[in-house]
Chains A and B, each alone.
Chain A
C-alpha cells in the first residue's frame, strides 16, 4: 500500500469536508438580501391578468436620452430578472446607461386558471396591449421591440403581424427555425406528446421544465457544480457565494407553463416548424415573416446549448427587412446576460444600435 497515496486521499477528503463547512459558515453569515436580484428601480404601469408591464426609472448617464422607447419581451419559461441579476451584471442597467427608455414585460406565475391561455393571447392580446399603452403614453406611434429566447420568437411573430407599430426589432438567442436536431430540446420535442402533458397538468409545473434543463448538462448541473463549489478556494468569499446563490435562485425559479401556449409552441413550432414555413396561424391570421420590414438586429451565442445558431440565423433570410445584421458572440445562452462580455460588449452594442435606429 502506497502510504503517500493513502495520506493524500485522506487529506483530500478532509479538505473537501472542511471546505463545505467553511462555505456553509460563510453562507450563514450572508444577509438574506444578498440573493435578491431585480434591484433597478422600476414602476408597474400596466397589467392584465398576471402580466405586468414595468417602466424602468432612468439612471444618471452622460448618454443622450433615446426618444423611442424599447419594450423587452422575455421568454415564458424563465424569469426576466436574469437581465438584472445583480448590480455589476445587469444588461438592463447597461441599456439605461446608453440612454434607452426601457419597459419590460413580467409574465408572472401562471396558475391553474391560466391553462387556456394561448400564444395568440400572449402575443396579440397582452403584448399588443403593452405596445399600445407605451405608444399612447409616450406619444410614439412606433416603438422598439427586444425579444429574448422564446420572447424573441414572440416578438418576431408580433412584428410580422403588427409591423406598423414597430420601429426596430432586436432578437437575442431566439429560435426561429425548429428543424435542427443539434440541441437536446429540439431533439426531444420532436417526440414529446404535448397534448398528454397539457391534459394531465393544465399548467405544466415549473419543476418539470427544471428537470429537462438539468438534463441538458446532466453531470455539470447536478453533481459537478456543487463539487466544484466545495473544492473552490473562493468558497469563503461572500461575494462569490452571493453570485452563486443568485444564479441558483434564478435557475430553479421556473414558472408553470400555460398548457395551450406550450401545446401550440411544441406542436406548431418544434414539431411542424410552421413559423419559417409561413404556415403558422395566430388569431386567424397567417404569420408571414416577410412582413417584417423594420431594421433587425439578431444576436446569438456561439456556445448556446439551448438555441443553436442553426435555429436563429434563418431569421435573416426569412424577413423582408433590408436593414438587418446578425452577430454571434463567443458566449453561452446564459452568458449572453451574465458574462463580463455581455456588460462590456453585447449590451452596449445593442444600446448603440437602438440609439442609431431611433433617430
Chain B
C-alpha cells in the first residue's frame, strides 16, 4: 500500500534532526553563561533538544487530530476505535512518546547533577522543575480521561493553584476557624505539600457548612421546584469538583513521593557507577517505582474512599444535570428520559409476566400430558394388568 510519500518525508525529518544535533554539538564550546547567569542552549543542549522533540510530538498529534481529512472519520481518543485502529494506535503511541519525552526532560536535568545528599535537596529539585513534573503527571492522567472530561480535570488541577491563592487570601480567615486547617496552612507554608489533602478535606466540610447549605435551601415562589433543582445541580457540581480536587491532591502527592524515590534510586546507581545509560533504562526505573507505588496506594482504604466518593458525586451531578435538562425541555413534544425509563419498566414487567405465564403453561402442558398418559393407561390396560 502506498504511503503517499510519508516514508520519505519522515526519513528526511530524521536526517535533519541528526544533522542539527551534530552541528549543535560541534558548535558548542565549554559553558558560556548568559548575561543573567542563566544556562544557554550551549550549556544545556539536551534540554533545548527535548523541548524541540516535545514540540514535534505535539505538532504531529495536532496535525493528526486537526487534519480535516482525519476529522471526517469519527473516533474516540482513549478507547479502541475498531473503525480506525491504526489512527488509534498512532495516537496512543505518540501520546506515550510524549510522556517519554517529558520524562526525558526530568532525566536530563538529573544527568547533569551530582547525586543529591538529602531529601530536602530532592524536594527543592522537584520544586525548581515543577512545570516538567506537572506535564509528566498530565501525561499519566490523560489516558484515563475521555476528551470531553479533560477540561474538567485540568480545571480541577488549576483549582489546586487557585485554592492555594484563595486560601491565603479570602479563605484563610474562614478556614482558620478550625485548628486542623491552621495546622495544614502552617505545613503548606513550610513546603509540606502533603498537607493539601487535609486542607481540601476541611475545605469540603467548610463548603458543606456554608455555601452548600445555601444551594440546598428550600426555594420560594412559582418556579420554586425548578430553582431548587438548579441550585441542587450547582451544589452537586461543587461537591464533585471538591471531591475531584481531594483525589487529585492525593495522586499528586503520591507522584511527588515516587519521584523522590526515583531520584534517590538514581543517585545510588550513580554512586555505584551503574546509572542508566539510555532514556529507556531510566524510564524502566521510573515506571516500576510508580506502578508498584500507585497500585499499593490504590488499594488503601483512604484512596478507595476518596475515589468512590468522587464516583458517587459525579453520578449525583449527572442526576441533577439530567433533571435540569428535563425541566428545561419540559415543553418539547418528545419523550423525555424519565418517560422512557417508565416505559422500560413497563416493558420489563410485561416480559417477566409473559415469561412466568409461559412457564406456567409449560407446566400445565406437562401435567396434561402426564394425565393423558395415565388415562390412556387406564382405558387400555395391557394384558396381564389387573
Contact = CB atoms under 8 A, between A and B. Distances in A.
A219 B311 contact: no
B93 A199 contact: no
A25 B291 contact: no
A24 B96 contact: no
B86 to A, nearest CB: 4
A200 interface: yes
A21 B312 contact: no
B104 interface: yes
A138 interface: no
A317 interface: no
A222 B316 contact: no
B290 interface: yes
Interface stretch (B126-134, B196-204, B342-350): B342-350
Q: How large is the interface on A (under 10, 10 to 19, 20 to 34, 35 or more residues)?
A: 35 or more
Interface stretch (B207-215, B217-225, B276-284): B276-284
Nearest to A196: B315
A77 interface: no
Contacts of B53: 13
Interface string B327-359: 000000000000011001101100110010000
A119 to B, nearest CB: 14
A24 B89 contact: yes
A14 B17 contact: yes
A356 B351 CA distance: 40
Nearest to A190: B304
B80 A223 contact: no
Interface stretch (B138-146, B162-170, B184-192, B263-271): B138-146
A295 B310 CA distance: 44
B308 A226 contact: no
A115 B345 CA distance: 9
A51 interface: no
Contacts of B108: 9
B28 interface: yes
Interface in B236-277: 277
SS of A interface (majority): helix
Interface string A1-24: 101011111111110111011011
Interface string A202-232: 1000010011001111111011101101110
B311 A12 contact: no
A199 B319 contact: yes
A234 interface: no
Contact of B298 (A25, A121, A215, A248): A215
Contacts of B352: 121
A207 B314 CA distance: 15
Contacts of A25: 3, 7
Interface stretch (A59-67, A83-91, A141-149, A181-189): A181-189
A230 B25 contact: no
Given A10-B21, A193-B311, A200-B316, A117 B348 contact: yes
B25 A7 contact: yes
A41 interface: no
Given A25-B3, A28-B86, A200-B316, A1 B45 contact: yes
A219 B344 contact: no
Interface stretch (A170-178, A249-257, A341-349): A249-257
Given A10-B49, A16-B97, A35 B287 contact: no
A9 B82 contact: no
B307 interface: yes
A124 B17 CA distance: 65
Given A113-B344, A116-B345, A188-B307, A227 B96 contact: yes
A30 B82 CA distance: 13
A307 to B, nearest CB: 15
A296 to B, nearest CB: 28
Contacts of B3: 25, 28
Nearest to B143: A222
Contacts of B341: 115, 202
B287 A223 contact: yes
Contacts of A303: none
B35 interface: no
14 contacts: A1-B44, A5-B111, A10-B18, A13-B101, A13-B104, A16-B100, A24-B89, A27-B89, A28-B3, A188-B307, A214-B143, A218-B290, A219-B294, A220-B287
Given A13-B53, A217-B291, 5 more contacts: A25-B7, A112-B344, A191-B308, A201-B315, A223-B100
Interface of B: 1, 3, 6-7, 10, 14, 17-18, 21-22, 25, 28, 43-46, 49, 53, 79-80, 82, 85-86, 88-90, 92-97, 99-101, 104, 108, 111-112, 139-140, 143-144, 146, 277-280, 283, 287, 290-291, 294-295, 298-301, 304-305, 307-309, 311-312, 314-316, 318-319, 322, 340-341, 344-345, 347-348, 351-352, 355
